[in-house]
Structure 1
Amino acid sequence: MAAKQILLITGGNTGLGYEAIKALYASATPYEILMGSRKISNGEQAIEKLKQEVKESSSNVSVVQADVTSDESLEKLVGGIESKYGKLDVLINNAGAGYDTQIQSGALSIREAYNASWDTNVTGTQVLTTLSMPLLIKSKNPRLLFVTSGTSSLIQTDLSEGMFARLNAAPDAGWPKQGQLNPVTSYRSTKTGLNMLMREWARILRNDPVKVFAISPGFLATGLGGVGAEQLKKMGAQDPAIGGKFIRDVVEGKRDEHEGKIVRSDFFDSPVQPY
């Protein structure tokens, strides 16, 4: 029997992260899946749900505490993986957050919201990736994935069709701007920054065996940013399971020709995001 690949995914107890774990857990390939969750109790509840939905698996899944805004949490996490497994085969940087709605509501200032967005979506990802690199290098087939967003594309800020009609619509003249639909400015900017982070890691690891990707899973009804999954579905969002299966495909080598690029899921026209 093949040895299990050691796989860590942050933000794994909910949304896209949970669906990715579900797809991997249902795979014929055996994995030791480490479900990163800020709260262990939330991860434990997610695993109970997972085992009800997927009755049989060749993999094992366990929860690990992973708060990407805390260096202490990430250092403890990577230290535990090193002590128990001595390597890491796959790192999926999935944890992310959007705070734009909290700017609108007044719960956070612009600075507070932007700093929180960058800390979670970019800085925390960079800290974990850097800490994990010695363990990834020890793998025979290491993979490093960054979950980005279709909203981060610079080229597609010019599009005015489909969901981009809503994202890129210009409000009426004058100030202050009222009624702008679905503002995601801080979220979009952090994911654009994450794309460059991926490209930098692709450059840094060009002479190493680590395969690097960014995943653009599509417009999914995950409820990210507090909008709510049902509302997102009304706006045309897809089932998050589509994104989860897409991440599994990348992990299992079905997009290796696009290594070092931003790849998008099959329900888009092109497999490579035009950034």
Structure 2
Amino acid sequence: MSTSSSPSKKTIFITGGNAGLGLEIIKSLLRSASTTTSYDILLGSRSLPNAHTAIAALRSSFPATASTLTAVQCDLASDTSLTDAIATIAAHTERGHLDILVNNAGAAYDSRIASGTMGMREAWNASWDTNVTGTQVLTSLAVPLLLKAEDPRLIFLASGTSTLAGTESKENDMLKRLNGSPPAGWPKPSTTFGGAASSYRSTKTGLNMLMREWVRVLGNDGVKIWAVSPGFLATGLNDSTPEKLRAMGALDPVIGADFTVSVIEGKRDQDVGKVIRRDAVQNW
């Protein structure tokens, strides 16, 4: 486990880095580092054993990397965990700084409403607590470290499902499923507020506003901020499987990861303060 970072390396903290898109972002950073610069990567995970397992696999896959990997326990539902995570990061670097925060960790509980394993209030509260409230608490704690960096960057992982304008679109099968209305009458099918990702997409719309508030709050502090909409990816979100999502048209997570790293490395600096897709600025 690394205890200090090199001044030449950008220190980056990625929440939810042990699996899914977060892990793919780290792989993309390690691939990019072979041709550009090296990184001091802090891999955040709710479970330290899971973080260490992920790091061992990464070191095996990238044995020649000059980047460093450090596990940081980080549970967005626990203020104590978040406070401890920031203290760990502050002690990790010589200047107590953080160059880049990638708020990647998130959760979706809609399928559990449909299955009856969680009640609606429980699932919605859990979604907002993780995706918005926990992200806000962590970001607030991390800002003092970001302000010590030379070129601080703050990234929130958004979603294509969050756009209000996009709720009117049914131009393809995926959007028909997402935005289609159930038959008239009541009660509606159990999937109306469960399988349709209602709580998840609502939290991601809220996250867009959270990003905009940080743009306002840090407007005179030189922090570059985005919400990155990585696309419909084949991860394990919402208790699904990559195989099932691929059958629905989901893309390889590496595509979203490479896009996120391109933002980290300055290729979308012209779109600071926006929700961005690979090829466009996403409508609000």
| Alignment TM class, shorter chain as reference | over 0.9
> Tell me, what secondary structure is at the counterpart of 1:91?
strand
Which deviates further from its counterpart, 215-224 or 25-34? 25-34
Whole-angstrom distance in 2 between the partners of 1:31 and 1:164: 38
User: TM-score when scaled to structure 1?
Assistant: 0.95
Deviation at 1:146, TM superposition (A): 0.2
Quick one: distance in 1 between partners of 2:51 and 2:262? 23
* Match in the other structure for 2:14: 9
Which residue of structure 2 lines up, in the alignment, with residue 172 of structure 1?
183
Bigger mean CA offset, 49-58 vs 163-172? 49-58
Aligned Cα RMSD in Å? Answer: 1.3
Shift of 1:30: 1.1
Task: Letter of the 1:45 partner, please give it.
Answer: T
| Counterpart residue type for residue 109 of structure 1 | G
Q: Aligned runs of 1:148-227 on 2, under 5 Å? A: 148-162=158-172, 163-178=174-189, 180=191, 182-227=195-240
Give the deviation of 1:169 after TM superposition: 1.0
Offset of residue 44 of structure 1: 1.3
Deviation at 1:180, TM superposition (A): 4.6
Aligned to 2:102: 92
- After superposition, give the CA deviation of every residue in 1:155-183 in whole Å (9 maximum; x if it has no partner): 00000022211101111111222275841
How many percent of aligned residue pairs carry the same amino acid? 54
| Aligned partner of residue 26 in structure 1, secondary structure | helix
Pairing of 1:20-59 with structure 2 (within 5 A)? 20-27=25-32, 28-59=36-67
User: Residues 100 and 146 of structure 2 are in contact (CA less than 8 Å); yes or no, is this contact kept in structure 1?
Assistant: yes
**2:20, 2:235 within 8 Å by CA — same for their partners in 1?**
yes
- The CA distance in 2 between the partners of 1:52 and 1:82, in whole Å, is 28
Paired with 1:2 and 1:123, the residues of 2 have a C-alpha distance of 32
Provide, for residues 193-250 of structure 1, a one-character-per-residue CA deviation record: whole Å limited to 9, x for no partner. 0000000001111111100000000000012010211100000000000011111000
Structure 1 gaps of 5+ residues are none
What secondary structure does 2:161 align onto? helix
Partner amino acid for 1:204?
V
User: Structure 1 residue runs of 4+, over 6 Å off?
Assistant: none
Normalised to the residue count of structure 2, the TM-score between the two structures is 0.92
Q: Is the 8 A contact 2:72 2:88 kept in 1?
A: no
Once the two structures are TM-superposed, the CA of residue 184 in structure 1 deviates from its matched residue by: 0.1
Partner of 2:282: 273
